[in-house]
Structures are given as C-alpha cells and as structure tokens.
Structure 1
Amino acid sequence: MIINISEYKQLLDLASEMAKNSYMYVTYPVDEISDAYTLTFFKSSWEAAEHCYEMSNDVDFYKSLPTATLIRDLSTVSLTGIDTTENEAVDLLGLANRYRDNVAFLYNNLKQKIMNEKNFDYLKDQVMYTGFGEALQSELKQNMEQLKPEFKLQHDTFYGESRVGAELSFRKSEQSDLYFFNSYKVSLQKEGSEESLDQTFYINKGNNITLKEAYNLMEGRSVNKDLTNREGETYNSWVQLDFKNTDTRGNFMLNHYHENYGFDLEAALSKHPIKELNNPKYKDDLINSLKKGNIQSATFVKDGKETKQFVEANPQFKTVTVYDANQNRLDTKQDKKEEVSQKASNSKSRDVKETPNDQEGPDEKKETSKRRKAQSM
C-alpha cells in the first residue's frame, strides 16, 4: 500500500475507528496513493474480495488486507525515525521492512515503557487503597525508574494523639522489571510514650489490611475481613492481634473468629438502646465502621434521655464494649455475664487461635492445664 507519509496519523485514526465498528477488512488500489477516500472498509473478507473484483480492470488493480494489519503497519511509522512531515509517497510494507531492526528495537522499548507504566499505575492504586493516599506517588515512580532491586518508602500520620509511622517495602521481580508491594511495617507511638509498638502487615491479593485497620488492630480492637485461604476459598472472619504470642518473624500472631464462631454484631448491638439502629442508613454506617475496627460514637436512649457514648466490636466474647462520652469503659451486667459464659466455652474449645499446625502454643497449654485443675477441684 502506497501512502503519503504526512497523512499516516489520519489514516491510523480512520482505521482504528473502523475496527472499533467491526469493519475488519480494507481494500486499496495497488498502484495509486491510498488516502481516506480510496480506502474502503468491510465487515467480512468475502465482501472485501467482491469489491476488489468489481473495482479491478486492465488499468486498476485492488487488493484487501485485515484492518488490524493496516493499523499495525501504520503504528510502526513513528518508530522508523523518518521525517513524517515531508509530503512523500512511500510503500508502507517496504518502509516497515527497510527499518525492521530499528522498528523492532523501538517497539520493544515502547512495549517495556507501557508495561512499566501499567506496573506503576497498579502499584500507586494499591498504595492508595491500602490507606497511604497519593503523597508517595512521585517517590514511588522515581525509585522504579532507577531499577533498584528493592526500596522502601516512609509515611507518617497521626490518629488522634498517636503517631503512626509506616515503612513500605517494594521488591523487583528476578524474572522481569516488574515491582511488587510486599509489606509495610507500622510503628505506633502513643502520646507521652517514648517506646513504639511495631507490627508488619503483608500485602496479599484481596486480603490487605488498610493502614487505619492496622492502627485499630494495634490498639487492641478487632477488624472484620473477607480473607482467602490456601485453597483460594474466600471466607469471612474477625481478626485481632494476640499481644502475648509472636511468630518466628517477631510479629504478633492473629486470633481468628470465623463465621461459624457465632458472633453476630447486629444482634450484639440490639441488646443496647442505640438510637441509630432505628434508621437503616445510620445502622449500616455504624456496623460498617465497627467492622473496620473503629471505636464508634452512638446515641444511647434511656428514660427518654439521649446520651453520647462509644461502642466497639468484641467478637471474642460475642458482644460489644461500651464506653462513656470520655471513652472510659462501662462494664455492663450483660457484658460481664457474656464474658463469663464465653470464658467457660473457650475452656472446651481452643480452635479460634491461629497457631502453627493448628496446635496449642506453650502459653495456651499452661492456661488449659490451669483451667482443668480448677474445674477438677
């Protein structure tokens, strides 16, 4: 196909638009300069062949080719390095063959650039939706462009009076230039304390703990998550840090309270005179906030009077913990009754703690032994 090199962009736009509308074949005059007026597009190969037969004679001869092939050849023009502003007629296929090595080199570079841009877009979204916002995007891109085997980014914020520092870890694949966001280490430093509490949270597809959820966990609260097991099956569970036990990496272990554990957050809330439960939207907002591990304000109504208090989910004892307006814990009779009942139940079943090989750790064995002795006395 002979084209005017200065018109290749217009032809590329035309061919791309026709392909979007399912015109998969194009016909062109073999010995004339092809432009937007001499190219004809068809949806089927037999229609294109019929058109070529009807248009061809002793002087003019027409051929057809897939629209995708035309798009490919036109797309390589800018990679040849020739001057596309000249009003020059060139053979499109011959042009691609003449600059084959240069086109291949530039095409591979372009392909790598596109892949790197997609990798950056994926990582920046992953970082943002894990709770770190957009502030790290520039630094993330700079480190990726330097092709470092691994790098770390720092992030600091405050929740109330507590300082929360995070160190995000990225590593480049050994098989390609793709980077992965592997984990982030959180350091929680409360007001007036010189010591910090540290915990590393790992990035898993679909299982990510957000920064705010990480903070809530490190404050001792529980978070509800949809998780994926080793078999790829999705399940729902409440998770809570176990500050008495650590794994081989020094991280606090997680207690899991699965769906079959029997904690019903809405039922636990209904045992309290909470005004927001009477409004479907406010009730959903309250429940969703508690599932993220937040300590949430609520309006308690007693004897016709409204009082602002706070609640948090307590899946271990299948209840909610209530605090006064100053966030001092209120131990209600119902809380105590359920806590005693749950402790008795836990002495019979120890399947909620996630320990290696589903076995009891040393501390659990000691606790179980103590309970058995107490029950036998």
Structure 2
Amino acid sequence: MVQENYIFLTEALEKLGFQNIFNNQLNIAMKLDLPLIDLKANDNRKDGLFNFNVQLEKWKNPPAGKEDYYSINRIVTGFKPENGDPAKKHTFGLYLQKGFNVNQMRDLMRGHYVHGIFKTDKGETLGRWQFVDFKNVNEDGTHPMKSIYDKNIEFNVTKQLNALPHIAATQDDKEWMLRALYNGQKVSASLKIKGVKEDVMLLANPRTATIDVYNAKGEKINLTKNTMQVEEFKLDAKAAKLLEKINKEEALGKGQGQGQRR
C-alpha cells in the first residue's frame, strides 16, 4: 500500500462529505491490492433511504512508480423514498477527485437543482444549475445529468428571497439561506401569508426562475396574485333558449335517475 496515496484518498473522501467513515475499509482494501474497491454506506433520512457506493480503481496506464495508486472514479447513489415512490439510482462521476458532496447528491436524488460555477476551455466563467433527469434514460441505463445555464435565464435568487412576503430573517440568516438554496437544499422560513404567520419550506427552481414555497404538508403554495378578471359571458336570444332547454333536460334526467335508485 502506498501511504501517500492512502492519505490523499482519505482527504478527498472527507471533502466529499464522507468524513473518515471509510478509512479502515480503504486501508484494508489497499493492503490486499484489490483491483476494484467498493466503499458502501447507507443513510436513513426522514424522506427515505439513501445508499452510496464509492468506487475506486487502480490507475490505468500509470507512470513508472505509480502502479499501485488508486483514484475515486464514481459514486453510485440510490434513493428509496419513504412515500412509496419508485426507487432511483444514479452514478455521479468525479473530475480530479472532485465532484458533488454527499449533501448535494442527496438533494439531486430528491429531484432538486444544485448550482455551481466552472471555467470553460476558453477560460470563460459560467454558472449553471444541474439536475438529474430521471424522466429520461441513456442507452447504458443511466439517467442524464442536465444543466440550466445562468446566461439563459433571469433568476436572481437574492431578489426572489427578499421579495417573499414579510420573511422573518436577519441579514446573516438570509446569507445562509442563499447558500443553502444554491446547494439545492430545502430551507425553512417564516412568512406572513394572507395576514397569518406560517412556517414554510423554500426551494430554488431555475426552471421557473422562482423560489418555490411549500407548507407543512409539503403542498406548494402559490404566492402570486391572479390579476386577470373574467369577462361576462353574453348569449344571444337563440343561444340562451338552447341553454335553457339543455339545463331542463339535464335536471329531468337527474330526477329520473334518483327515482330509479330508490
């Protein structure tokens, strides 16, 4: 076992949110010189059971002296919802031993959006919201990871948060809430809705460029007032007479049906 490689991997796992839970298993697997290492863990939450399988492999075509080095190649993640919805599975890849952390993977498996910033090959800095498209399946059976780029939408999360009705939060609270929303987390808050203080959950939704609001039952609350007014439906004499006839026939049919049931 290469101690330098072991230390590097334990640090990488800690940054991914697994802390030191795999240290002993990793130590044993590397000493046994296994070609493929599976580090598995379960995480039972209120909304369901998550399982993680961190897969490590030896370097392919390693340089001289690096033949026994391992790298973290992927994290196979499963989610079995508590409410009975179908189980989900997704494989998260890593780049240079970096990727979504445990909290972000959990929220992506819940169907949330996670924001990140990256640099293109041309050096351009771009922001994007990523999500797992569970409605579609690739040829290899996996679900595609998709992106909604900041430049293609008008979604000012700070503005949306401040626009919520009578949100009870200090500036420090709001800064924490913003970080959590960008990370795909549901955030608890207190709003005044129709004059009544209500505890709610907030979730960023880049598809609609809004912050979705949910009540204690998990039901979505619509805070947008409908300003449209329906115009009076006017009928000419012929149409009014026809409608009167139809209504009488329907009333007669209901009466006959009730008499038969008796």
Q: Does 1:189 align with 2:75?
A: no
Q: Does 1:130 align with 2:16?
A: yes
| Structure 1 segment 58-137 matched on structure 2, within 5 A | 116-137=2-23
Partner of 1:147: 33
CA distance in 1 between counterparts of 2:143 and 2:207 reads 17
SS of the equivalent of 1:119 reads helix
Partner of 1:313: 204
Match of 1:245 among 136, 151, 155: 136
SS of the equivalent of 1:248 reads coil
SS of the equivalent of 2:77 reads strand
- Residue type at the aligned position of 2:157: L
CA distance in 1 between counterparts of 2:89 and 2:194 reads 45
Deviations 1:281-323 (A, max 9, x none): 1011111111111111111135765321111000111101111
How far 1:274 sits from its partner (Å)?
4.6
Q: Does 1:163 align with 2:55?
A: no
Deviations 1:64-118 (A, max 9, x none): xxxxxxxxxxxxxxxxxxxxxxxxxxxxxxxxxxxxxxxxxxxxxxxxx7xx222
CA spacing shift, 1:148–1:271, aligned 2, 3 Å: same
Identity %: 20
How far 1:194 sits from its partner (Å)?
8.4
- Residue type at the aligned position of 1:270: N
How far 1:166 sits from its partner (Å)?
1.0
CA distance in 2 between counterparts of 1:244 and 1:305 reads 38
Structure 2: any 5+ residue segments left out of the alignment?
A: 228-262
User: 2:72, 2:97 within 8 Å by CA — same for their partners in 1?
Assistant: no
How far 1:210 sits from its partner (Å)?
1.3
Partner of 1:222: 113
SS of the equivalent of 2:50 reads strand
How far 1:259 sits from its partner (Å)?
2.3
Identify the structure with bigger relative contact order (alpha carbons < 8 Å, sequence gap 6+): 2
Larger helix fraction of residues:
1
How far 1:171 sits from its partner (Å)?
0.4
- Residue type at the aligned position of 1:126: A
Partner of 1:295: 186
Match of 2:100 among 175, 193, 209: 209
CA distance in 1 between counterparts of 2:223 and 2:174 reads 22
Q: Could you state the TM-score of these two structures normalised by the residue count of structure 1? A: 0.54
How far 1:195 sits from its partner (Å)?
4.8
CA spacing shift, 1:305–1:139, aligned 2, 3 Å: same
User: 1:207, 1:227 within 8 Å by CA — same for their partners in 2?
Assistant: no
CA distance in 2 between counterparts of 1:180 and 1:234 reads 27
Structure 1: any 5+ residue segments left out of the alignment?
A: 1-112, 338-377
Aligned length: 221
- Residue type at the aligned position of 1:297: S
CA distance in 2 between counterparts of 1:303 and 1:167 reads 46
Match of 1:284 among 168, 175, 178: 175
Partner of 1:269: 161
Q: Could you state the TM-score of these two structures normalised by the residue count of structure 2? A: 0.76
RMSD value, Cα: 2.4
Deviations 1:173-218 (A, max 9, x none): 1422110001110110112538521000011138511122112112
